[in-house]
Amino acid sequence: MKKQENVCETQVLVLPFPVQGHVNPMLQFSKRLVSKGLEVTLLTFTGNKPLAVQDGPVKLEPISDDLEADNLLVESPDAYLERFKAVVTLRLPQIIAKLGMSKSNHSVSCLIYDSVIPWALDIAKQQGLHGAAFFTQSCAVNTIFYNVHEGLLKVPLAAQSSFSIVGLPLLEEYDLPTFVYDIGAYPALTHLSVNQFLNFRKADWVLVNTFTSLEEEVLSWMGSLRSIKTIGPTIPSKYLDKRLEDDKDYGIHLFKPEIDICNNWLNSKETGSVVYVSFGSLAALGEEQMKDLALGLKGSNSYFLWVVRETEKKKLPANFLEESSEKGLVVSWSPQLEVLAHKAVGCFMTHCGWNSTLEALSLGVPMVAVPQFSDQTTNAKLVADVWQVGIRARMDDKGIITKEEIERCIREIMGGDKSKAIKWNSDKWKKLAVQAVNEGGSSDKNIDEFVAQLRCK
């Protein structure tokens, strides 16, 4: 990766919330900053399931070696969040002092912190640093949480058929994030999401992982509240503008991807013939849902590559692997970007986490949205009805997406009446994503402005 020729005089610290969907975009943004001539240190965490960030242009600094990994965040979020705050509050000033002493001419000037930990801004200010809030989710989702924080959208939700929020399409209850429509299920995570806006007007910068043309209307409304900078999509340069050398992967893996197995299998398939199925590192489907998904994939008569983590494989129907071996490949983890970029993949069945959604948009891959949790429901609404790059699978009265619904969605997106329009829209957004990060694009300009303003400060 080539840096600009000017001498680096500015060092920034980057503090992500330590789960994959937050670390990846902030790590990728860090690489962009390095390419602009800044010195960047990413604060990392390790625990029972360490986030193994690979060596690269971004310097790594461990902030804790005993913080539990993201499974505790789901099982006991209150305990996790309390421990996380305590560790960061203790260690962050020590690290700032250490880095300042080691290179006095490159003293730390700014903390880029994950927006879900607004208290990090207070630490930055106490240490004499500027602070930049980094929002890892879509602007649409951020806006919904802002409306909840400001009391513009009352929770628990009133009994009504739809909800009107400025800058967004008309939303039904189940288009809202699960932390909003099911507020009692995860109170700690609801609190975490809503409180991103406690002090966002006090941050020196607000950075959002999206691109202007993708969310123009809602960005315009959010921009009326305070200045914000779109800096996404935060996808490795290989899959976008190709301006950063050796930027082929995020550099972080929770599990070891089965690269050769996936590539060899995909290479034997025709262009656009494969359905790629992955629900990320946290989703755990119930046995009934797992059965219907398996039978739906089998009944669709399409080739499929399905990521099923080792802990989830016991939920597969008996003899499924043997009976579907001619059409399907099941792996425990995959190199997602490589798979999505492969010519054989014609459809991505995804939970619609924001990172996965941006990846599919940036690579022009149509989606079958199967949202489970958090912001995925809102992203699925946008995928199907606003950007029109996919189909949203619908649950039955028991909350199950049936095998018949799985079959219907796959057949529709792979060759149904809507498939051509969806593919055309997917290609359109792919071009606009590349344009945003390429030289002179909206995100590239915003990153340049951020770097220039940081140097001036």
Instruction: Compute the distance between CA of residue 237 and CA of residue 8 in angstroms, rounded to an integer.
Output: 22
Query: By residue range, what is the domain housing residue 151?
Result: 11-251+436-456
In a domain, 372, yes or no: yes
Q: Is 114 labeled as catalytic in the residue annotation?
A: yes
Q: In terms of domains, do 27 and 159 share one?
A: yes
Q: Is 182 labeled as catalytic in the residue annotation?
A: no
Distance from the first to the final alpha carbon of the chain: 26
Instruction: Compute the distance between CA of residue 165 and CA of residue 86 in angstroms, rounded to an integer.
Output: 36
* Domains identified in the chain, total number: 2
In a domain, 15, yes or no: yes
Task: Please give the distance of CA 51 from its chain centroid, rounded to a whole number.
Answer: 16
Instruction: Express each pLDDT in 184-234 by its tens digit.
Output: 888 888 999 999 999 999 999 999 999 999 999 999 999 999 999 999 999
Q: In terms of domains, do 153 and 271 share one?
A: no
Instruction: Express each pLDDT in 326-344 by its tens digit.
Output: 999 999 999 999 999 999 9
Element (H, E) at 327: none
pTM of the model: 0.93
- CATH number of the domain to which 442 belongs: 3.40.50.2000
> According to the model, what pLDDT value does residue 54 have?
55
In a domain, 6, yes or no: no
Query: Which DSSP letter does residue 171 get?
Result: B
Cβ-proximal residues to 244 (8 Å cutoff; 6+ apart), any chain: 1, 2, 31, 32, 35, 236, 237
Q: In terms of domains, do 242 and 157 share one?
A: yes
> According to the model, what pLDDT value does residue 5 have?
44
Instruction: Compute the distance between CA of residue 277 and CA of residue 351 in angstroms, rounded to an integer.
Output: 9
Q: In terms of domains, do 278 and 147 share one?
A: no
Q: In terms of domains, do 148 and 229 share one?
A: yes
User: Per-residue pLDDT averaged across 291-304, rounded?
Assistant: 95
Instruction: Express each pLDDT in 78-87 by its tens digit.
Output: 888 888 899 8
> According to the model, what pLDDT value does residue 183 have?
84
Q: Is the pLDDT of residue 239 over 80?
A: yes
> According to the model, what pLDDT value does residue 49 have?
45
**What is the chain's percent helix, strand, coil content, to nearest 5?**
45, 15, 40
In a domain, 72, yes or no: yes
Given 70, 114, 204, 292, the catalytic residue: 114
Q: Of 52-61, 64-73, 302-311, which range is least confident?
A: 64-73
Q: Is the pLDDT of residue 356 over 60?
A: yes
With beta carbons less than 8 A apart as the criterion, state whether 333 and 355 touch. no
Element (H, E) at 268: none
Residue type present at position 399: G
Q: In terms of domains, do 428 and 448 share one?
A: no
